[in-house]
Structure 1
Amino acid sequence: MNNNQMADASHSSSDTDTSIGSIASDLRSAAADKYGEVVKEARSMADHTKSDVADEVKDVASALRRASEELRKGSAQERTLGQIASTIAGASESIRDKDLGEILAMLSRAGRKNPVLFLGGAALLGFAASRYAKASADEGTSGDAQEHFRKKAQVDDFVGEGNPNNQTVGSMP
């Protein structure tokens, strides 16, 4: 190989390195842009869900407050339900006002300080979340699925498939 050929090969290699570097830079930039979009969308979804959860928790607090008003004025039950309703209403506002990371840290601290109260609150939030999920579900789809499984259960019971001994209905073990 003569000097001109070696210079051309070196120049060609340099051009290839430059174009690979340019492509890599473009890919990094595109990935960073997509990452930013995903983070923005995730935050938006989290904020929307956080607001919905806060509304559900507020509804639970309102229901407890109404229940406390139905009890005898001044009774221990009335005061206790009223206090629980106030605490839950405050939690609703905290959920709405705080960042998701702050909420998780707050829940972690509360769980360590008072595990029984934490578990009770978790149960209430679970009920609220299931109520939200049920209300958010597409009624046509969920109704069709429920009807399908109800009919399947009736057929299974009739032919004995739901029976652990696989006996026909009405037969003795």
Structure 2
Amino acid sequence: MSTKDNIEKEAHSASEKLHEAGESVKAGAREAAAEAQRTANSYADYGKTVAAGGLSDFASAVRRASDELSERDQDIAARFVSHAATSLEDIANSVSHTSVDDVVDTMKGFARRNPAVFVGGAVLAGLAVGRFLRSSGQRTPEMVAAPAPTSGYRPPASYTPTSPVAPSNSTPK
């Protein structure tokens, strides 16, 4: 066997090993993506369950408000509020009985048909989630013990007056 044959044999062997390594990396990436998808679906299912429960609780509260309005002879308002409660109950049932994939497909279709509304809704949802997370976060002892502000306005920390202002009841020296 000549040197040229040895080089070709080694090049072919290296090419096969490189191909095997590439296939192994692809398989690992596919498995990692599948695991990420399973994890995302698990979180989405949990979120869907929480959302459906929250909607159902809210629908019950609205239903009680409707009942109270009926007891106070506010029939028109009671019907309106009752209709809202029914709609909320329908939404809660729909959310709890719809798969995550169906919700995603529906959202994709809506986003294609109404991109501006979808983006606006996504921004509002993000703000709502941010407020919820901020309000439901764990409070440190410093946060709990901090006194509430006494006035509504406070200048930003970076604000420094350009000239000192003397109180109106003081006299210059």
TM-score w.r.t. the length of structure 2 is 0.67
Greater helix fraction, Structure 1 or Structure 2: 1
Alignment length (residue pairs) = 155
Residues 41, 100 of structure 2: 8 Å contact kept: no
Q: In structure 1, what is the equivalent of residue 171 of structure 2?
A: none
Q: In structure 2, what is the equivalent of residue 89 of structure 1?
A: 89
Q: In structure 2, what is the equivalent of residue 65 of structure 1?
A: 63
Shift of 1:7: 0.6
Q: In structure 2, what is the equivalent of residue 11 of structure 1?
A: 9
Q: In structure 2, what is the equivalent of residue 103 of structure 1?
A: 103
Q: Would the alpha carbon gap of residues 93 and 53 (structure 1) be closer, same or farther in structure 2, given more than 3 Å must change?
A: same
Residues 53, 129 of structure 1: 8 Å contact kept: no
Shift of 1:144: 2.6
- Map Cα deviations across residues 89-120 of structure 1 (whole Å, 9 max, x no partner): 110010011123433628949x98xx9xxx9x
Shift of 1:83: 1.2
Sequence identity of aligned pairs in percent? Answer: 18
Q: Give the partner amino acid of 1:78.
A: A
- Structure 1 CA distance, aligned partners of 2:59 and 2:160? 41
Matched, 1:80 2:80: yes
- Structure 2 regions of 5+ residues with no counterpart? 169-173
Residues 60, 128 of structure 1: 8 Å contact kept: no
Q: Give the partner amino acid of 1:59.
A: D
Q: Would the alpha carbon gap of residues 78 and 21 (structure 1) be closer, same or farther in structure 2, given more than 3 Å must change?
A: same
Q: SS state of the match for residue 24, structure 1?
A: helix
Q: In structure 2, what is the equivalent of residue 30 of structure 1?
A: 28
Shift of 1:139: 3.2
Q: Would the alpha carbon gap of residues 136 and 54 (structure 1) be closer, same or farther in structure 2, given more than 3 Å must change?
A: farther
- Structure 2 CA distance, aligned partners of 1:45 and 1:138? 21
Shift of 1:128: 8.3
- Structure 2 CA distance, aligned partners of 1:63 and 1:167? 55
Q: In structure 2, what is the equivalent of residue 144 of structure 1?
A: 143
- Structure 1 CA distance, aligned partners of 2:102 and 2:165? 57
Shift of 1:140: 3.1
TM-score w.r.t. the length of structure 1 is 0.67
Q: SS state of the match for residue 41, structure 1?
A: helix
Q: Give the partner amino acid of 2:19.
A: G
Within 5 Å, give how 1:128-143 maps onto structure 2: 133=133, 136-140=136-140
Q: Would the alpha carbon gap of residues 34 and 160 (structure 1) be closer, same or farther in structure 2, given more than 3 Å must change?
A: closer
Q: In structure 1, what is the equivalent of residue 42 of structure 2?
A: 44
- Structure 1 regions of 5+ residues with no counterpart? none
Q: SS state of the match for residue 139, structure 1?
A: coil
